[in-house]
Protein backbone atom coordinates (compact mmCIF):
# COMPACT_ATOMS: atom_id res chain seq x y z
CA UNK A 1 0.00 0.00 0.00
CA UNK A 2 1.20 3.50 -0.77
CA UNK A 3 1.36 6.13 2.01
CA UNK A 4 1.88 9.89 2.16
CA UNK A 5 3.67 11.38 5.14
CA UNK A 6 3.86 15.11 5.77
CA UNK A 7 6.77 15.59 8.15
CA UNK A 8 7.14 18.88 10.01
CA UNK A 9 10.65 19.55 11.32
CA UNK A 10 11.19 22.51 13.64
CA UNK A 11 13.83 23.75 16.03
CA UNK A 12 13.35 22.84 19.67
CA UNK A 13 12.29 25.67 21.95
CA UNK A 14 15.30 27.44 23.39
CA UNK A 15 17.34 26.95 20.19
CA UNK A 16 18.14 30.22 18.43
CA UNK A 17 16.28 30.66 15.15
CA UNK A 18 18.01 33.40 13.12
CA UNK A 19 15.89 32.68 10.04
CA UNK A 20 12.69 33.06 12.05
CA UNK A 21 14.00 36.29 13.60
CA UNK A 22 14.80 37.70 10.16
CA UNK A 23 11.35 36.78 8.85
CA UNK A 24 9.73 38.33 11.93
CA UNK A 25 11.68 41.55 11.45
CA UNK A 26 10.70 41.64 7.79
CA UNK A 27 7.02 41.18 8.60
CA UNK A 28 7.13 43.98 11.19
CA UNK A 29 8.91 46.21 8.65
CA UNK A 30 6.01 45.56 6.26
CA UNK A 31 3.57 46.87 8.85
CA UNK A 32 2.55 43.64 10.59
CA UNK A 33 3.29 45.13 14.01
CA UNK A 34 1.35 42.44 15.88
CA UNK A 35 3.88 39.72 14.88
CA UNK A 36 5.59 38.78 18.13
CA UNK A 37 7.62 35.74 17.08
CA UNK A 38 8.33 33.59 14.04
CA UNK A 39 9.87 30.11 14.21
CA UNK A 40 11.02 28.61 10.93
CA UNK A 41 11.04 24.96 9.98
CA UNK A 42 10.57 22.68 7.03
CA UNK A 43 7.79 20.56 5.62
CA UNK A 44 8.66 17.34 3.81
CA UNK A 45 6.14 15.32 1.80
CA UNK A 46 7.20 11.70 1.42
CA UNK A 47 5.36 9.11 -0.68
CA UNK A 48 6.38 5.52 0.04
CA UNK A 49 5.13 1.95 0.25
CA UNK A 50 4.49 -0.01 3.44
CA UNK A 51 2.49 -3.12 4.28
CA UNK A 52 0.33 -1.55 7.01
CA UNK A 53 -0.36 1.61 8.97
CA UNK A 54 1.89 0.39 11.80
CA UNK A 55 4.72 -0.34 9.35
CA UNK A 56 4.28 3.09 7.75
CA UNK A 57 4.38 4.82 11.15
CA UNK A 58 7.53 2.90 12.08
CA UNK A 59 9.16 3.76 8.74
CA UNK A 60 8.49 7.49 9.13
CA UNK A 61 9.77 7.46 12.71
CA UNK A 62 12.95 5.73 11.52
CA UNK A 63 13.38 8.22 8.63
CA UNK A 64 13.11 11.11 11.07
CA UNK A 65 15.51 9.55 13.56
CA UNK A 66 18.10 8.58 10.96
CA UNK A 67 18.08 11.52 8.54
CA UNK A 68 15.29 14.08 8.56
CA UNK A 69 15.71 15.68 12.00
CA UNK A 70 18.65 16.28 14.30
CA UNK A 71 17.23 15.15 17.68
CA UNK A 72 19.61 17.44 19.58
CA UNK A 73 18.23 20.60 17.95
CA UNK A 74 15.00 19.67 16.17
CA UNK A 75 11.68 17.95 16.68
CA UNK A 76 9.76 16.08 14.01
CA UNK A 77 6.04 15.45 13.89
CA UNK A 78 4.11 13.93 11.04
CA UNK A 79 0.73 13.23 9.58
CA UNK A 80 0.32 9.96 7.74
CA UNK A 81 -2.45 8.96 5.33
CA UNK A 82 -3.08 6.33 2.72
CA UNK A 83 -2.56 7.54 -0.84
CA UNK A 84 -6.10 7.37 -2.21
CA UNK A 85 -4.87 8.31 -5.71
CA UNK A 86 -2.51 5.37 -6.12
CA UNK A 87 -5.05 3.31 -8.08
CA UNK A 88 -6.78 6.18 -9.83
CA UNK A 89 -6.72 6.20 -13.61
CA UNK A 90 -4.87 9.15 -15.16
CA UNK A 91 -7.24 11.82 -16.45
CA UNK A 92 -7.59 12.11 -20.21
CA UNK A 93 -6.52 15.51 -21.55
* Domain architecture of the chain: domains with CATH: 2-15+41-82 (3.30.1280.10)
Counting as low any pLDDT under 70, the low residues of the chain are 86-93
Cβ neighbourhood burial of 90 (10 Å; 0-12, 13-18, 19+): exposed
Q: State the DSSP code for 92.
A: P
What confidence score (pLDDT) does residue 93 get?
A: 54
What confidence score (pLDDT) does residue 12 get?
A: 96
What confidence score (pLDDT) does residue 91 get?
A: 53
What confidence score (pLDDT) does residue 51 get?
A: 97
pLDDT in tens, 65-82: 999 999 999 999 999 999
What confidence score (pLDDT) does residue 76 get?
A: 98
What confidence score (pLDDT) does residue 85 get?
A: 84
Amino acid sequence: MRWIAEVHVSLRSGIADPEGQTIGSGLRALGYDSVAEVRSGKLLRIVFDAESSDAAQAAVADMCRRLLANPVMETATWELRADEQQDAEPANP
